[in-house]
Amino acid sequence: MMLRYALRRIAGVVPTLFIIITLSFFVIRIAPGGPFDEEQALPPEIRANLEAAYGLDRPLIEQYGRYLAGLVRGDFGPSFKFKDFSVTELIAQGLPVSLMLGLSAVLLALLIGIPLGTLAALRQNSPTDYGIMSVAVLGIALPGFVTGPLFALIFGLHLRWFPVAGYEDGNLRFLVLPVITLALPVIAYIARLTRGSLLEVLRMHFVRTARAKGLPERQVILRHALRPALLPVVSYLGPATAFVITGSLVVETVFGLPGSGRYLVQGAINRDYTLVMGMIVVYGSLTLTLNLIADLLYGWLDPRVRYD
Amino acid sequence: MTEAAPAARGFWADAWRRLRRNKAAMVAATLILLITLLAFIGPSLSPHAFDAIDWDHMAVPPGAPNDHWLGTDRLGRDLYVRTLAGVQISLQIGLLATLVSLFIGVLWGATAGYLGGRIDNLMMRVVDILYSLPYIFIVIILSTLFERGNIYVLFLAIGAVGWLTMARIVRGQTLSIKRKEFIEAALASGVGTPGILLRHIVPNVVGPVIIYATLTIPQMILFESFLSFLGLGVQEPQASLGSLINEGAQEMESAVWMLLVPAGFLVTLLMCFNFLGDGLRDALDPRDR
């Protein structure tokens, strides 16, 4: 049953991705302006030659067909602005940094958020609880482009604990502040979710039973209460990855990291069609896949979920 | 609505009483009002224009003996006036985009929920697909569609994709009320589908819609700042909180007030709208405490 559900969900990703690709392809092409709009207008002949070289003079539907054919072969086409680079090369360069950043942020958020939320729930309505929850409100409300520069200011410029910006391969110190900036709202959200659902679970009968049969409180929490209480956190992991991907655009800009997020922004500013498309395909499939994994994980953890 | 029963009035009066008792929400509402007034009246109190360059006072900190109350930026432009101009843009855009998403989301959700069946399936499938893509992608694709600088058109468009959650909420509410007797009564007295949707369903989902709309405004403000921070939104010499924060972040080593002033306003606004939204939720939906 589970397997069939999993297969159906996996099969559902492909048409969704196809619709996303098709829609974004045509929307981007309808946009006024193009990659060859420079401050100084190009002579019409040169412009025509350039457009012919990139196949932009063909009918839109033919360009679309070619793009899809390229995609199947893993070829995202050439970048219009970063001459001599293919979009595939650009993304392959930046993606490892972005993935490392995002993954570390989600892991950190789980490692800190769940214990904080548990602590707040166990000490409900104590100063500890209020303290943690106030910080969580702040963490959710503050955007990364405010906290990022502030962290750089405090921990980079004044305390000199970590570098303010930049990146060196293999030197993790450069990733500390970006990862914390990216993880902060996720930590806050996970802490809130964990607290809320643990409070609910603790009121349930099976917890009372576990206590009644004389289990130490530690075991009641860790073995019985926490597992069902973490289900909402698991289903939040899908949106969380989308959030982290979005946040990495800002964090990479603030801290000058050579990730792939900045290509989406630069591509949009420069009307670099293929670069924007490439980013949408890669990040879109990434989000869809991670959402899928989170959903399947949820079904695996919660025996009450039925597949129809 | 003249035919509203006393019980309905009682509900709103109750909600208002609950909201007034919520100190955080009331403080937040007052602050929002004050900041709005300041944003629209404040700039005319200063002798400076938002894009005027003061060659004698470049990058001066706040509190220096001159008439730049919150200091100036690298180009000698008055930070007090620029920040308030940014707040103006943020508030207008937050409201505009929220209204658009409200309009589409309520109609879409109510229609899908009321009609049900295949149409409901199709309409919610569209929502699912748009949902599966990080919102910011749609926004960035859209930002390529418009001339940069025409931020109002951009936000009309962002509101036009920001209705997804609203549609889901309204659909759920509609599903739960469409089997009620008063709908049956309306059907029996010959009211058509559009009439039932607009006169009977939509007024009955107002509560959750207000709550969610209050929480949408800060999201939209955040999006505008986010885009302007990345250089995709408001363009020079126009100022937005996001673009000011970006400039400030680049100058923070020597001129930290250029970061702190716009960031302070943005954070205050966001917190206030969130507290107000939470307060409204507690006031309008007492079950969910």
Q: What is the pLDDT of residue A111?
A: 93
Question: Average pLDDT, stretch B5-26?
Answer: 71
Q: What does DSSP assign to residue B47?
A: S
pLDDT higher than threshold 50 for residue B4: no
Confidence band for A307, pLDDT divided at 50, 70 and 90: low
Q: What is the pLDDT of residue B289?
A: 40
| Nearest Cβ partner for A141 among B135, B263, B267 | B267
Confidence band for A38, pLDDT divided at 50, 70 and 90: low
Interchain contact A181–B (C-beta under 8 A):
no
Give the mutation candidate from A24, A81, A146, A246 for the B interface (greatest B CB count, under 10 A): A146
| Nearest Cβ partner for B134 among A16, A246, A269 | A246
Query: Three-state DSSP class for B281?
Result: helix
Tens of pLDDT, residue by residue over A174-209, are 888 899 999 999 999 899 888 888 888 888 888 888
pLDDT higher than threshold 80 for residue A32: no
Judge contact between A53 and A68, C-beta under 8 A: no
Burial class (CB in 10 A: 0-12, 13-18, 19+), A1: exposed
| Nearest Cβ partner for A268 among B132, B144, B253 | B144
Tens of pLDDT, residue by residue over B79-132, are 788 888 889 888 888 888 888 888 888 888 888 888 878 888 888 888 877 776
Residues in A touching B221 (Cβ below 8 Å):
none
Tens of pLDDT, residue by residue over B181-219, are 888 888 888 888 888 877 777 777 777 788 788 888 888
Q: How far apart are CA B266 and CA B289, in angstroms?
A: 28
Question: Average pLDDT, stretch A76-87?
Answer: 79
pLDDT higher than threshold 80 for residue B152: no
Token couple for B155: 């936000």
Q: What does DSSP assign to residue A225?
A: I
What pTM, to 2 d.p., does this model score?
A: 0.78
Give the mutation candidate from A20, A140, A145, A160 for the B interface (greatest B CB count, under 10 A): A145
Q: Residues of A numbered 120-139 whose beta carbons fall under 8 angstroms of chain B's beta carbons: which are they?
A: 137-138
DSSP B129-193: HHHHS-HHHHHHHHHHHS-TT-HHHHHHHHHHHTTHHHHHHHHHHHHHHTTSHHHHHHHHTT--H
Which residues make Cβ contacts (< 8 Å) with residue A154, sequence separation at least 6?
none
- Region of poorest pLDDT, from A15-24, A76-85, A298-307, B102-111: A298-307
Question: Average pLDDT, stretch B47-67?
Answer: 71
Is pLDDT larger for residue B286 or for residue B119? B119
- Region of poorest pLDDT, from A52-56, A143-147, A296-300, B248-252: A52-56
Q: What is the pLDDT of residue B1?
A: 44
Share of chain A above pLDDT 90, in %: 7
Residues in A touching B136 (Cβ below 8 Å):
246, 249
Q: Give the closest-approach CA distance of B142 to chain A in angstroms.
A: 8
pLDDT higher than threshold 50 for residue A164: yes
